[in-house]
């Protein structure tokens, strides 16, 4: 049976995945494919380039999930390529605060371009001055910026479109404006307001730097940033005595003891995987393994299904995205440091989502262990899809 993707675009952009669903009805890949068709038909907005009902940063994560799926199923590549192209062109128009990254002497926000910004590079330097405007993807929050940088790196990996990579490079340079915080002379702030040093912005800073180090000629620049960030992060106190990561630091640079969210246990795993690839050091994967083990202990149930106990089932608008990010990065760690416990968690979560967290329209909600709860939206759905896609890889 031919699966198809229904949107407002012409039939030339239908997702043609020639799968025999009678044969593959219960396969991990078939579940992911069915869910992708649902995501696109129900929520992708060709005009905005973002999935309706999902926020700005959530859209970046949906894009990353789509790239991850395309990386393991070539039949998804045509759809993914179309979405990348469309989103790249039209989504900046719905950026809630484009280009706001630093406060000038008058207290007014403005875009900050450091000397290494691509537009300032001389002829012949690696880059394409004038072709991209990364400030279109900046919104004043360095974590949001980091999600979009990772999304465009993932899109670059599928398409080799240099504009996507150059955009990620520019976004990262915007993020460097957040360095340093008031805590041990390092780390980046959560936003241009410079009023909170939190885990997610710093983990994303690490991950983007490490990802870029593996994709550009000036590798040493990004390795240096990633290593500086990891050194600071380890010393910051955000990793607690249980090896889980709290939300951030107080103004006097103490662990604030706030919720141990799944995504804060996840992004760091992917960052350390990429850093170890760029600058091999066994301590990186050992640290990642400790964090992963602690997260699994704290944030999965007896069946191995992942939870955000701090919010479920009322996790909107942000927490709906968190669990998928953790599983995505857990799979990345498994790809270089395999562990059966990672497989158990990924498969248990994916199987439970399909059995217990899916409605009759194949929409996936926030409570992965079940029962299905409304509201379901693009964020809950593409987060759950991260688990389904990860299950394709490890099955």
pLDDT in tens, 217-241: 999 999 999 999 999 999 999 999 9
Are the C-beta atoms of 365 and 380 separated by less than 8 Å?
Answer: yes
Question: Model confidence over 281-329: pLDDT tens digits?
Answer: 999 999 999 999 999 999 999 999 999 999 999 999 999 999 999 999 9
CA atoms within 13 A on the CB side of 278: 28
Model confidence band, residue 97 (pLDDT cutoffs 50, 70, 90): confident
Task: Answer whether residue 16 shows pLDDT above 90.
Answer: no
Are the C-beta atoms of 131 and 166 separated by less than 8 Å?
Answer: yes
The torsion defined by the Cα of 207, 224, 220 and 283, in degrees rounded to 10, comes to -70
**Averaged pLDDT, 168-189:** 96
**Averaged pLDDT, 375-389:** 98
Tokens of 240: 């607690």
Task: Answer whether residue 199 shows pLDDT above 60.
Answer: yes
For the chain, which residues make up each domain, given as ranges?
A: 28-392
Are the C-beta atoms of 208 and 146 separated by less than 8 Å?
Answer: yes
Q: Are strands 17-18 and 102-103 parallel, antiparallel or unpaired?
A: unpaired
pLDDT of residue 308: 98
> Which of the 8 DSSP states describes residue 170?
H
**Averaged pLDDT, 169-175:** 94
Tokens of 258: 């706030």
User: Partners of 107 in the beta sheet?
Assistant: none
State phi, psi for 143 to the nearest 5 degrees.
Answer: -70, -45
Model confidence band, residue 127 (pLDDT cutoffs 50, 70, 90): very low
Determine the Cα–Cα distance for residues 131 and 121; give it in Å rounded to an integer: 12
**Residue indicated by tokens 């407002």:** 8
**Averaged pLDDT, 172-190:** 96
Helix 56-72 to helix 322-336 angle (10° resolution) is 30
Task: Answer whether residue 104 shows pLDDT above 70.
Answer: no
* Of 17-21, 88-92, 268-272, highest mean pLDDT: 268-272
Helix 282-299 to helix 340-356 angle (10° resolution) is 40
State phi, psi for 130 to the nearest 5 degrees.
Answer: 90, -15
Q: Which of 16, 57, 65, 13 is nearest to 39 (CA)?
A: 65
**Averaged pLDDT, 119-129:** 35
Tokens of 241: 């005595």
**Averaged pLDDT, 3-19:** 38
Model confidence band, residue 132 (pLDDT cutoffs 50, 70, 90): confident
Model confidence band, residue 108 (pLDDT cutoffs 50, 70, 90): very low
pLDDT of residue 98: 79
- Tell me which CATH code domain 28-392 carries: 1.50.10.20
Determine the Cα–Cα distance for residues 189 and 289; give it in Å rounded to an integer: 26
Model confidence band, residue 395 (pLDDT cutoffs 50, 70, 90): confident
User: Partners of 364 in the beta sheet?
Assistant: 358
Are the C-beta atoms of 125 and 101 separated by less than 8 Å?
Answer: no
Task: Answer whether residue 194 shows pLDDT above 70.
Answer: yes
Task: Answer whether residue 59 shows pLDDT above 80.
Answer: yes
Task: Answer whether residue 116 shows pLDDT above 90.
Answer: no
- What pTM was estimated for this model as a whole? 0.89
pLDDT of residue 12: 37
pLDDT of residue 99: 66
Determine the Cα–Cα distance for residues 47 and 29; give it in Å rounded to an integer: 29
Report the chain's C-alpha Rg in angstroms: 20
Tokens of 384: 């759950």
Model confidence band, residue 100 (pLDDT cutoffs 50, 70, 90): low
Element housing 343 (H / E): helix 340-356
pLDDT of residue 161: 95
User: Partners of 51 in the beta sheet?
Assistant: 44
**Averaged pLDDT, 41-48:** 97
pLDDT of residue 133: 86
pLDDT of residue 96: 87
């Amino acid at each position: 049976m031919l699966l198809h993707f229904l949107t407002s675009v012409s039939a030339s952009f239908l997702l043609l995945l020639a799968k025999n669903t009678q044969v593959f009805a219960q396969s991990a890949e078939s579940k992911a494919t069915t869910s992708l068709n649902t995501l696109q038909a129900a929520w992708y907005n060709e005009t905005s380039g973002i999935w309706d009902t999902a926020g700005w940063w959530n859209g970046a994560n949906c894009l990353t999930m789509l790239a991850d799926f395309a990386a393991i199923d070539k039949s998804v590549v045509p759809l993914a390529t179309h979405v990348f192209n469309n989103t790249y062109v039209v989504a900046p128009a719905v950026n809630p605060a484009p280009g706001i990254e630093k406060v000038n002497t008058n207290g007014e926000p403005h875009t900050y371009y450091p000397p290494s910004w691509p537009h300032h590079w001389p002829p012949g330097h690696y880059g394409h001055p004038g072709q991209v405007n990364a400030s279109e993807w900046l919104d004043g929050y360095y974590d949001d910026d980091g999600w979009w940088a990772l999304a465009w790196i993932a899109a670059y990996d599928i398409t080799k479109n240099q504009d996507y990579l150059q955009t990620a490079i520019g976004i990262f340079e915007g993020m460097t404006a957040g360095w340093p915080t008031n805590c041990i002379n390092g780390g980046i702030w959560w936003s241009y307001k410079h009023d909170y040093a939190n885990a997610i912005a710093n983990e994303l800073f690490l991950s983007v730097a490490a990802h870029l180090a593996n994709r550009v000629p000036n590798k040493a620049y990004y390795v240096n940033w990633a290593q500086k960030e990891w050194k600071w992060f380890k010393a910051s106190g955000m990793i607690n005595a249980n090896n889980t990561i709290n939300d951030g630091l107080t103004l006097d640079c103490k662990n604030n003891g706030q919720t141990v969210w799944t995504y804060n246990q996840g992004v760091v795993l992917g960052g350390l995987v990429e850093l170890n690839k760029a600058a091999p050091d066994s301590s990186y994967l050992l640290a990642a393994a400790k964090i992963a083990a602690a997260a699994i202990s704290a944030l999965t149930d007896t069946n191995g299904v992942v939870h955000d106990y701090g919010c479920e089932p009322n996790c909107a608008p942000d927490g709906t995205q968190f669990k998928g990010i953790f599983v995505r990065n857990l799979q990345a760690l498994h790809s270089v440091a395999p562990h059966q416990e990672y497989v158990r968690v990924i498969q248990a979560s994916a199987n439970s989502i399909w059995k217990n967290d899916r409605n009759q329209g194949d929409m996936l909600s926030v409570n992965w262990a079940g029962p299905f709860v409304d509201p379901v939206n693009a964020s809950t759905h593409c987060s759950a899809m991260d688990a389904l896609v990860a299950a394709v890889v490890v099955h």
